[in-house]
Structure 1
Amino acid sequence: MQVIRAVGREAAAKKYDLLSAMMAHGLAGDKHRQRLVLRLMALITTRYNWQRDELTIGQREIARLWCVDERTVKREMAKLRALGWIEIKQQGARGRVSVLGLNLERILLDTKAEWENIGPDFVTRLTGAAPESVSNVVPLHRAEPVAAEGVWGEAQARLAAEDRALFDAWFAGLAEAGVRDGCLTLFAPTRFHASYVETHLLERLRIAVQRSDGSIVKLRVLGP
């Protein structure tokens, strides 16, 4: 999958591709998903700075745009943060609003199942001709998948469905070591493996785990 960067000569087409993916995802869901996606699309099309990856708008302005009260804005924005679709880049303080950014990779992962609804040309354009590749780094040790149940088992299923190649390379070999005080600890087969996951893939791991159990607020990946 190619992560969309809406810059350069094809910037306009890339923006439409992202919005089209979101639209297809929303239309395939229930009314709650449709409304949430539509509201985010409204923010993107009216206030999002594509070049700087910045969304700067106050809750009062969002409420006016969405035709809702500010409590609804807080609730809906919390949902979008929990999904990983928006991130806080700079926390607001002293009367200044927070600066938000979009996690384009997360949005594309979550909408991928509905790309076919747009058409095979759209799928080809977003996936590219080459096989999926997130990194040129290859793990030094390819561990056999460790069967898991419960929260980690559910999270593994989500990660495998999102990107099978990435799952086989980095997530399949992680073993659950338990949950304590809202922290899930995972063991990796090597220290390099643990370091790479924590450095490059922890956010994707966190979202998969929290979608399985929202009470888990912290993750640790340890090596031998």
Structure 2
Amino acid sequence: MLVAKPVGRDAATKKYDILSALATFGLSKDKHKQRQILRLMALITTRYNWQCDELSMGQAEIARLWSVDTRTVKREMARLRSLGWLVQKRQGARGRVSVYGLDLARVMADTQPTWDNIGPDFVQRMGAEPQQSDTNVIPFRNESAVEFSNDVWGRACKVLHVDDPSTFASWIALLKFGGDEAGQIVLVAPSRFHATYVTSHLQQRILYALRAQDPSISAVQIIAQ
């Protein structure tokens, strides 16, 4: 839900939800992470254009807002870009400042581990309520118990697990095989948010792993349960 642009009738609620997720996540971390997230929240609340997904602000202006020097601004903005939370949409040049956007899907995905601290109503509103999975992929937390079937999806999962165990455990292990029609594999995610994140960030990686097992596969679609 919240990966959509927070505009329209429920815009205010969606904005508060994003800021709540950031604040709660930051408070669970050390003082350095807390300061980083507070700085990002200051940018969002003072200068971010939700409707256009644009943050346009010069380094000197950011430095004044954060009470730091411009060297600190350069370092911190680079860290936020490396996290994937800030996305540079236009490079700054003579006479104009850089323009950034927010990857809301990435922000919400990274803050999800602390949603429970806000409350079950928030978790449910985000569409990430805990669900039992009957897939043949056992969660990574007990690595010795991970098993995979010998079908195309199971073999692809084994490759994806070896390549990136953490990402596999958080996102791919929760996908269920939903069928194969005319070379298109359908995978079912436990929530709409989960499906949107996987589609945006992992779909191509999953497709490559599937095609390595069966070259006739032409596409993969991730849908919500």
**Same topology, TM > 0.5:** yes
- Where in structure 2 are there 5+ consecutive unaligned residues? 132-151, 178-186, 188-202
Q: Do residues 146 (structure 1) and 158 (structure 2) align?
A: yes
- Where in structure 1 are there 5+ consecutive unaligned residues? 132-140, 176-185, 201-224
- Residues 1:187 and 1:54: Cα distance change in structure 2 (over 3 Å): same
- Residues 1:15 and 1:148: Cα distance change in structure 2 (over 3 Å): closer
Q: How many residue pairs get matched?
A: 176
TM-score by length of 2: 0.67
Q: Find the residue that maps to 1:7 and give its secondary structure.
A: coil
Cα distance, 1:56 vs structure 2: 0.1
- Residues 1:100 and 1:2: Cα distance change in structure 2 (over 3 Å): closer
Moved more, 165-174 or 98-107: 165-174
Q: How does 1:30-109 map to 2 (within 5 A)?
A: 30-109=30-109
Q: Percent identity?
A: 52
Conserved? CA contact 1:173–1:189, under 8 Å: no
How far apart in 2 are the matches of 1:167 and 1:81?
32
How far apart in 2 are the matches of 1:98 and 1:167?
41
How far apart in 1 are the matches of 2:62 and 2:216?
44
One-letter code of the match for 2:153? R
Q: Look up the match of 2:7.
A: 7
Q: How does 1:204-223 map to 2 (within 5 A)?
A: none
Q: Look up the match of 2:29.
A: 29
Cα distance, 1:64 vs structure 2: 0.3
How far apart in 1 are the matches of 2:220 and 2:100?
26
How far apart in 1 are the matches of 2:46 and 2:72?
19
Cα distance, 1:49 vs structure 2: 0.2
Q: Do residues 189 (structure 1) and 200 (structure 2) align?
A: no
Cα distance, 1:148 vs structure 2: 7.0
Q: Look up the match of 2:183.
A: none
How far apart in 2 are the matches of 1:106 and 1:174?
22
How far apart in 1 are the matches of 2:89 and 2:207?
32
How far apart in 1 are the matches of 2:216 and 2:110?
29
Conserved? CA contact 2:2–2:14, under 8 Å: no
Q: Look up the match of 2:173.
A: 164
Q: Per-residue CA shift, 1:65-111, capped at 9, x if unaligned?
A: 00001111111111100000000111122221111000000000000
How far apart in 2 are the matches of 1:188 and 1:68?
50
Cα distance, 1:63 vs structure 2: 0.4
Give RMSD over aligned pairs: 3.1
Moved more, 106-115 or 187-196: 187-196
Q: Which of the pair has more CA radius of gyration?
A: 2
Cα distance, 1:195 vs structure 2: 6.7
- Residues 1:87 and 1:163: Cα distance change in structure 2 (over 3 Å): same
Q: Per-residue CA shift, 1:24-54, capped at 9, x if unaligned?
A: 1000011111011000000000000000000
Cα distance, 1:158 vs structure 2: 2.2
- Residues 1:72 and 1:162: Cα distance change in structure 2 (over 3 Å): farther
How far apart in 2 are the matches of 1:188 and 1:105?
28
How far apart in 1 are the matches of 2:108 and 2:4?
9
TM-score by length of 1: 0.67
How far apart in 2 are the matches of 1:19 and 1:192?
44
How far apart in 2 are the matches of 1:59 and 1:166?
42
- Residues 1:101 and 1:173: Cα distance change in structure 2 (over 3 Å): closer
Conserved? CA contact 2:2–2:18, under 8 Å: no
